[in-house]
Amino acid sequence: MPKVRLEIAISLDGYAAGPNQSEEHPLGEGGMQLHEWIFKLAAWREPHGREGGEVNASTPLVEEARRGIGAGVMGRNMFGGGPGPWGDDPWPGWWGDEPPFHMPVFVLTHHEREPLTLGDTTFSFVTDGIESALAQAREAAGEEDVMIGGGASAIQQYLAAGLVDQMQLNVVPVLLGSGTRLFDGGAGAGLELEPLLVVDTPEVTHLRYRVG
Amino acid sequence: MPKVRLEIAISLDGYAAGPNQSEEHPLGEGGMQLHEWIFKLAAWREPHGREGGEVNASTPLVEEARRGIGAGVMGRNMFGGGPGPWGDDPWPGWWGDEPPFHMPVFVLTHHEREPLTLGDTTFSFVTDGIESALAQAREAAGEEDVMIGGGASAIQQYLAAGLVDQMQLNVVPVLLGSGTRLFDGGAGAGLELEPLLVVDTPEVTHLRYRVG
């Protein structure tokens, strides 16, 4: 049975983004620190069309996060940054014209929009809720898993609905002090967690759990 | 130079205690789950006067948390549970008549009280702030380290004041959903953290950092 996996980077004090998110700081002030460990990996750079990069203990996990995944789900902010409806010039996403997903991606939003195909990634915009988005992603993924990529709000909703099979937190050793908490509003309270894997480097600690 | 160490157990969603702390639930509802991993260890049971118990990957860390420590600091709630001033029948503490500390312990409180000696542990009550408590603990510890044992409020204050050299979080794979957050009010924001050690068992993941 295909799984619903989620993965997100957080600070040691539990923030998925820093405070004061803006066009200048789409991840909030200091939020980019949560992703520096991955930007330098060859396993991240190659699918993003960049050369070089490191190989370290995080490499197998980053590679694994791409294998066996048939579709993705993400929140509106993760897709496009910033609040508000689609404008004439919507944020193009972190990835430019060649998104690294290479699969169907379902974006949770309150604003209807025609599907957008960039390279071999098609973004579909789902306005009728998280269960609908997951059902569409499962259908598109076939025998493969679905990856919920964030952000915090999407993850909270999927945890609260008990729809997650596996959760990986990439814990970065910084204290942001404020911002968007991954765990807020009681999301996931009482779910059973079984530790599956711990991998650490000086820059990040990966904690993977089976979610019951 | 002796270090100021701190150590505390938290849930994966960052709570050091559950919601609705009361005499019945001094650690809050569900909060006892944060400590089950240690109660079953021989390394915890022996200094608490109990027989038996397990040996596992957590054992060396629990033993180490007692070695080289010359004095402790703790918050009022950790000492005695519950809010309010000392009554005629103050909470005797978790440990009964034979506390496991075997060292001077300085308790942060707003209410003056004569020192209390139980077994070979003397609790002194400090009403003039965290820096005074730490100075007294350093003096008592001599060449040995000082351990700040919690709870969340004491740790937040010491992190905010930049007085911590080493921090160990014992992360338990449960989601409490609400309660007392370890990291709240921006405590420690911007401190530099250097991962020193990661040890995991099915019941707890120990994350230790040097704090800059």
pLDDT tens digits for range A108-122: 999 898 998 888 899
Taking any CB pair shorter than 8 Å as contact, residues of chain B touching chain A are 12-14, 159, 169, 171, 173-178, 181-183, 186-191, 193-195, 198, 200, 202, 205, 207, 209
Using the beta-carbon criterion (under 8 Å), do B195 and A174 form an inter-chain contact? no
The rounded distance, in Å, linking the Cα atoms of B119 and B180 is 31
User: Nearest residue on chain B to A186, judged by CA atoms?
Assistant: B177
B46's CB contacts (< 8 A; 6+ apart) are B53
Nearest by CB to residue A175, choosing from B13, B178, B193, is B193
Distance, in angstroms, between B12 CA and closest chain A CA?
A: 9
Q: Which long-range contacts (CB under 8 A, 24 or more apart) does B128-137 make?
A: B130/B73, B130/B154, B130/B157, B130/B158, B130/B161, B130/B163, B131/B161, B131/B163, B133/B73, B133/B106, B133/B107, B133/B108, B134/B4, B134/B73, B134/B106, B134/B158, B134/B163, B136/B71, B136/B106, B137/B71, B137/B72, B137/B73, B137/B104, B137/B106
Contacts of A178 in chain B (CB under 8 A): 186, 189
Taking any CB pair shorter than 8 Å as contact, residues of chain A touching chain B are 12-14, 159, 169, 171, 173-178, 181-183, 186-191, 193-195, 198, 200, 202, 205, 207, 209
Using the beta-carbon criterion (under 8 Å), do A177 and B194 form an inter-chain contact? no
Q: Is A4-81+98-211 CATH 3.40.430.10?
A: yes
Look up the ipTM and state it. Answer: 0.90
What is the structure's pLDDT at A34? 96
Using the beta-carbon criterion (under 8 Å), do B200 and A195 form an inter-chain contact? yes
Q: Is B4-18+27-80+99-211 CATH 3.40.430.10?
A: yes
Residue range B80-113, pLDDT digits in tens: 644 444 444 445 566 677 788 889 999 999 989 8
Amino acid letter, B79? F
Residue range A68-102, pLDDT digits in tens: 999 999 998 788 644 444 444 445 566 677 788 88
Mean local confidence (pLDDT), B39-66: 91
Average pLDDT, chain B: 90
> Contact B38/B28 with Cβ under 8 angstroms?
no
Using the beta-carbon criterion (under 8 Å), do B189 and A177 form an inter-chain contact? yes
Contacts of B13 in chain A (CB under 8 A): 14, 182-183, 187-189
CA atoms in the 13 A half-sphere facing the CB of A47: 19
The residue with tokens 């260890």 is: B41
Contacts of A175 in chain B (CB under 8 A): 159, 183, 187-191, 193
Residue range B58-71, pLDDT digits in tens: 999 999 888 899 99
What is the pTM (predicted TM-score) of this model?
A: 0.92
Using the beta-carbon criterion (under 8 Å), do A175 and B188 form an inter-chain contact? yes
Residue range B147-187, pLDDT digits in tens: 998 889 999 999 999 999 999 999 999 999 999 999 999 98
Per the model's pLDDT, the better-predicted residue between A95 and B26 turns out to be B26
Per the model's pLDDT, the better-predicted residue between B117 and A169 turns out to be A169
Beta partners for residue B117, in sequence order: B122
Question: Strand (E) positions, chain A?
Answer: 4-11, 15-17, 69-75, 104-108, 116-118, 121-126, 145-148, 166-172, 180-181, 193-200, 205-211
**Tokens standing for A168?**
């990986």
The rounded distance, in Å, linking the Cα atoms of A11 and A32 is 11
Mean local confidence (pLDDT), A18-23: 87
User: Nearest residue on chain B to A195, judged by CA atoms?
Assistant: B202
DSSP notation for B91-136: ---TTTTS-S--SEEEEE-SS----EEETTEEEEEE-S-HHHHHHH
Helices (H), chain A: 36-39, 42-45, 59-64, 76-80, 130-141, 152-160
**Tokens standing for A102?**
């290479």
> Contact A15/A180 with Cβ under 8 angstroms?
yes
| Number of C-beta neighbours around residue B66 at 10 A | 15
- The residue of A8, A198, A201, A203 whose CB has the most chain B CBs within 10 angstroms, and thus the best one to mutate to test that interface, is A198
- The residue of B6, B8, B11, B12 whose CB has the most chain A CBs within 10 angstroms, and thus the best one to mutate to test that interface, is B12
User: Nearest residue on chain A to B188, judged by CA atoms?
Assistant: A175
What is the bridge-based pairing of β-strands B104-108 and B69-75? parallel
Window from A20-24, A53-57, B11-15, B60-64 with minimum mean pLDDT: A20-24
User: Nearest residue on chain A to B31, judged by CA atoms?
Assistant: A190
Using the beta-carbon criterion (under 8 Å), do A207 and B205 form an inter-chain contact? yes
The rounded distance, in Å, linking the Cα atoms of A158 and A137 is 13
CA atoms in the 13 A half-sphere facing the CB of B11: 31
Mean local confidence (pLDDT), A28-56: 92
Residue A150 has pLDDT above 90, yes or no: no
Window from A83-87, A122-126, A162-166, B190-194 with minimum mean pLDDT: A83-87
Burial class (CB in 10 A: 0-12, 13-18, 19+), A86: middle
What is the structure's pLDDT at A94? 64
Nearest by CB to residue A14, choosing from B183, B194, B195, is B183
Mean local confidence (pLDDT), B68-76: 94
Domain ranges for chain A, please list them.
Answer: 4-81+98-211
